[in-house]
Amino acid sequence: MQTFISVTTITAVSLMLGITNPPPDTIELTGTVRDFKERSTGSGGGDGHPDFEVYPSKGYGQYCKNIATQLGADGNPVFIGGGKKVRWQCTDANYQPICWTVYDASLGDHNIRYRNGTSTGGIESADTFNQWYNDVEGVNINIPLTLTLVRQQDGSYVFDDTDDLYYQQLGGFFPIENQGWGNPGGSPDRNFHFTFELHTEFTYNEDGSQYFQFIGDDDVWVFINGSLVIDLGGIHGATEQNIDISRLDLEDGETYTLDFFFAERHRTQSNFRFQTNLELQEADLPSGGGYD
């Protein structure tokens, strides 16, 4: 005699027994790289992008507050200028670096300190910045990129260029070697001048101690639910920032966006590592406007 058990019955039994699907061993997320020419190169000797391979007016280092705290209507960061060079970052009560936007003295946080004066951190204007995350014919070349996050023993997911065999061989995070405009020459001869954007979503669990951490260079901005939660602007060495998701005004069980924006603007190093216990899923990728 044959026995038939429906998927619905199995699902109902699983729910009653509290059985859930195990978390995946890896998560693949696809974003968009845009390759740029550095300012000192190009067929005309000066037709590269002015924001790449530039020396900021206040020198290299981390800059905050050049980007608005809310995403623009097009889903991209908005350049406002008037930024400040960071002397030391905000930290939480355990001295973990956090963004100035989530600083809360009542939690024992330590406030940010800036150097004197203002600077754009090597961004020429709103017009040049708008080219970073939009397709502009003759200025950048759009290349898809998939990152594989690997589950760790503590349940978090990590992408780290130092653990990835491909990037280990290159000596850093160089995802578009000899693609796009090609490598510019110099030493080391790597394709240093590009941006990367990634659009994801996650479900908030108020009991899950959820977090997102980034360590790398150069510019990085992360927005959750459209609000800035990591601000690592500027041309700098590998720098860390963390966001404890419970600091945000989110509703348990609801789905929220996490939008990630990165730029590599200066040669010698390219470092990229993020770690999170969020089960991120891809959200719809923006078109970037397309080439005319």
Note the pLDDT tens digit of each residue in 208-256.
Answer: 999 999 999 999 999 999 999 999 999 999 999 999 999 999 999 999 9
Q: Is the pLDDT of residue 286 over 60?
A: no
Per-residue exposure over 199-214, b if at least 16 CB sit within 10 Å of its own CB, e if not: bbbbebbeeeebbbbb
- Of 2.40.128, 3.30.70, 3.40.1350, 2.60.120, the CATH number of 25-56+70-77+125-282 is 2.60.120
Q: Which of 150, 135, 141, 85 is nearest to 114 (CA)?
A: 85
Question: Where are the chain's structural domains?
Answer: 25-56+70-77+125-282
Kindly report, residue by residue over 147-205, the tens digit of the pLDDT. 999 999 999 999 999 999 999 999 999 999 999 999 988 778 899 999 999 999 999 99
pLDDT value, residue 8: 40
Query: Could you report how far apart the first and last alpha carbons of the chain are, in Å?
Result: 66
pLDDT value, residue 6: 38
